[in-house]
A and B are shown apart, each in its own frame.
Chain A
Amino acid sequence: MTLREVFEPLRSRDELAFVPYQTAGFPTLADSLANLRTLADCGADMLEVGVPFSDPMADGPTIQASSQVALEQGVRLADVLAGMRGLDVRCPRVMMSYLNPLMRYGREKLLADMQAAGVCGLIVPDLPLEEADAWLVAARARGISLVFLVAPTSTDERIARVAELTDGFIYAVSLTGTTGARRHLPPGLPAFLERIRAITDQPVVVGFGIGAPEHVRALRGKADGVVVASRIIDAIRGGEDWVELAKDLKAATRA
C-alpha cells in the first residue's frame, strides 16, 4: 500500500488518518515493535517509527528521553530496519530520523533496506528542501516518499515548493516549537491549515503537540491526518492505559 492510497478513501469518508509514533528501542526494541503492532490493531492508518539520535534538536523532552533509553541499550539503525522487516502489519510505515545517522548508514543502502523492510516514507527534520535534491532523486527511484515539513513560519512560496515535490503527504508542524504533548491546540493552527489548503490539495498530516481526542476532532475537515507521538510515549512510560487512548484517538478521527 502506498502513502497515497491511505488518504484517498479516508478523504472520501471525511475521516482523518491516525498516525501514531513510537521511538524504536523504547522501552526496548522488542516492546516498541510489539507496541507498533498493537497500535495498528487499534486502527492506525499509518505508523511512524523514530530512529534514535543522540542530538534530536527538533524534539522536546519526551522524545529526547525515549531516544536516550534506546541508545543506552545500543539500538542501531540496522536493528530498527530488521525489526521493521519482520513487522507484519497492513498499514504503511514511515521512518523518522536526523540526517547524521542516516548519512552514516549510507543513503543508497538505507533506501534499499527501507524498501526491503516495506518502509515507504522518510521524514528527516534537519533536511530542508534546499539540501534534499540527492535524497529526493534516490528515494523516488526506490518508490519511497521523502516527507517534507512545513511550519507556521514557512512562506507561501516554500509551501508551494514542498507541495510540488511531495508524492506522499505534507507534514504540517502545528506550532513554532519542539515536539511534546500540550493541553490545547495552538490558536493559529486552523488559519495555518487554511493557508496550506489554499496553496495545495496534497494530503496534509498535522503533528507536534497533538495528544487528546478533542484535538483530533477539532482537526477534522481541516487536515488529512494527525501524528500523535509524545502523548502516547508519556502514557506508556506513565503506565496509563495507552491502548485505550489509542482507540479513543482513532475513534475521534471519524464522524
Chain B
Amino acid sequence: MTLKRTILSAGLAGVMALGMGSIAQAADLIAIITPSHDNPFFKAEADGAEAKAKELGYEALVLVHDDDANKQSELIDSVIARGAKAIILDNAGADATVAAVQKAKDAGIPSFLIDREINATGVAVAQIVSNNYQGAQLGAEEFVKLMGEEGNYVELVGKESDTNAGIRSKGYHDVIDEYPDLNMVARQSANWSQTEAFEKMESILQANPDIKGVISGNDTMAMGAWAALEAAGRDDVIVVGFDGSNDVRDSIIAGGVKATVLQPAYGIAQIAVEQADAYIKNGSASEPEKQLMDCVLINADNASKLETFALTN
C-alpha cells in the first residue's frame, strides 16, 4: 500500500493542478454505471438511482461495466464526452478504478461511489457503502447459532478485486474463528457467480461430504451452492448468504437457504443521487466522503417483508 499511495498522491497533486478547469456540460445528465444487471442487486441499484435522478429532474444514462476495468474506463470517457453532471458508480475494482474516477474529476465531473469502495480518498466526492463488516458479523452470528457453535463448514468468497469480498470474509472469520469447534474444510472464490458457485460446491462436496454449513460472500453464490447441495440430496446443509435478494428471500421462505444480510442497495443508490444533486446545486459535498450504511439480518422471521433490497413494514 505504501508505495502505491506515495505514487498516487504525488500523481494526484500534479494532475489536480492541471485539471480543475471547468468544461461545458449538458444541462442535466447523470450517468449510472454498475456491474451487470444479471445480478439483481446491481439492477436494484441502477433502478433506485435512475428513479431518483428522474424524480429530481435529471436525464439518466444507465450503463454496465461487467466488472471489466477497461470497459469501465471507456464508459467514463464516453460519459465525460457526453458532459454528464455527475457519475453514480458501483465500480469495477478498488485499485483499478482510482484512475478512472480521477479522470472524471479532472474533467470536472464528480463521482458518487456506491456499494464498493476504492482504495483512495479525495478522488470521489462520496463513497457510500454498506457496512459490510457489521453485516457479515450479523450473518456469521446467525450462522454460528444455526450450526450450534460446532461442525465443518465451507466458505465461498467473492471477487478478489472487490474490497467487499475481503471485508465480508473478515467479518465472517472474526466471529466464526472465535468458536474452536467450527472447522472450515474449504474456502474458495466463486467470483460472486451463481454458476461458478454451483460448480465449486459440487466438487467441494465430493471431497468433503461431512459438511454441515456453507457461508457465502453473496446471495448469487449462496443460490448456486444451494442448488448444488439440493441436487446432491444435501438439503440438510445450512447455507447463509449476503445481499438480501428476492431469490434468497424466496428460498428462505421455502425452507432452503437459512439466512442472508440485507444491504439497502436501492436506498443507498437514491442517497447517492440526492448527494449528487446537492453537489451539482451547491458545488460542495453535503456529507463526509466515506459513509457506512448498516445492514439487517434476514431470516425466516422477516423474509416476507423483503422486496427488491428494501424492507417494508
Partners in one complex: no
